[in-house]
Amino acid sequence: MRYTFLALAVVMFAGVAQAQAPAQQAPRPPATAPAASLDDAPDMAPSSVAPVVNRLPERVIRPMRAVDPMTLRAEGGTIRLWGIKPAQSAETPLELKALDLMDGLIQEQQVNCRVMGGTMLEMIARCSTATNQDLALELLKNGFVVVDRRQTYNTVFATAYEKEQESARVAGKGVWALVKEDMNQTGSNGLPRWLEPYMSFLLPLALIFGPFGGLLIVGLVMWYWLRRMASLQEKEAEQTSRKEAMLQSRERHVLVSTLEGELMENKNKIEAFLVIYGDMLRGLQDANEVPKYQQGGDIVQKHPTFGRAVFEANVGKLSLLDIKLAGQISKLYSAMPKDQEYINLEPTVPLETAVKLVQKVLKEAEALLDPLNNVITGLATASQKKTAASE
């Protein structure tokens, strides 16, 4: 019996093993998948390229020009001085004095600027002259600007900037002279100094004599302040008018100088033109010499090539000059041809015709010399008058 049960168990185990074999023999995927081609790879390129940020230069060294007490203009951008800000005052033309100081320090030489921030078009920097004079410290020393503590706070330059400002304040230079003047005229309580000694008994009198005395004092104070306000307004209007006159005089001087330079250049062109075509005329009139144009032709300029850029850029500013001088300048430039014209001398042109043509060209060029010299003399006289007035 025992062997019978054992045989049955073996048969049942074999059947179960055969039923599980197909499931275990199912096809397996390959161990390694074929490598995908580069063309099938997804496009991983970014949709946009990050913009390139222009980094500020560490230092800028080049010729510069002061346009206001805070700003230098150089080729390619503007530089604002670091660590200072304008002194707010309408009493005197501090801006013009500051510009004169900066022009005297720079003297049209290179300025060395250590960039502290800003943008490519408007950088903020500490700048020094060719003689190693810090522009911001010089302006602070003369009281034309004040320290910008938002920029200098917690920097190694704060002490030096505050020291120069304090020296200007103690010496009463620039805007600090106006501050001292206001402090001398007005007490700490806002009342005029001449009234302060009398306040100790004026107040009891006002209380004793009632509201009428108080109204009288208030009326006197209001009268004083109204008179002071009127005086300040008159003084401010006078200073504004003076400042405008100085700016107009400076602009007139620049206009005269640039026009005189352009006209001198045109005069030199006329003189060179006369020399060249004078030689050509003598060659044509020389019977022993074959004219050049008869050998292969020649080209003759009808007039010199004149410069007009300064005049055309400043036509609207001619009103700054004397009316008669402005009219002479306009008439002179009207007589100067704008476009160059040429005349071809063919070998077949008669010699007499060629001689007359060159004589005509020379005569027209010579006719411009007298009015040109008159205008140059007038501009020189105007420049000398301006220099004498400034002295």
The tokens describing 371, both together, are 């009015």
Confidence at residue 87, expressed as pLDDT on a 0 to 100 scale: 80
CB within 8 A of 133, min separation 6: which ones? 105
Q: What is the pairing mode between strands 77-81 and 122-128? A: parallel
| Segments in the chain forming alpha helices (H) | 2-24, 94-106, 135-141, 149-152, 158-171, 175-185, 199-209, 211-285, 292-296, 309-313, 323-335, 351-367, 369-390
137-158: per-residue pLDDT in tens?
999 999 888 999 999 999 999 9
pLDDT at site 270: 92
Cβ–Cβ < 8 Å for 372, 332: yes
Question: What is the model's pLDDT at position 7?
Answer: 42
Decide if 378 contacts 315 (C-beta within 8 A).
no
The structure tokens listed for 350 are: 């008669």
Q: For the chain, which ranges sit under pLDDT 50?
A: 1-53
**How far from chain centre, in Å, is Cα 310?**
19
Two structure tokens written together for 153? 């706070």
Residue with tokens 């006159």, as numbered in its chain? 245
Fold classification of 59-182 is OB fold (Dihydrolipoamide Acetyltransferase, E2P) (2.40.50)
Residue 70, pLDDT score: 84
Q: What pLDDT is attached to residue 20?
A: 41
DSSP string for 71-101: EEEETTEEEEETTEEE---SSS-HHHHHHHH
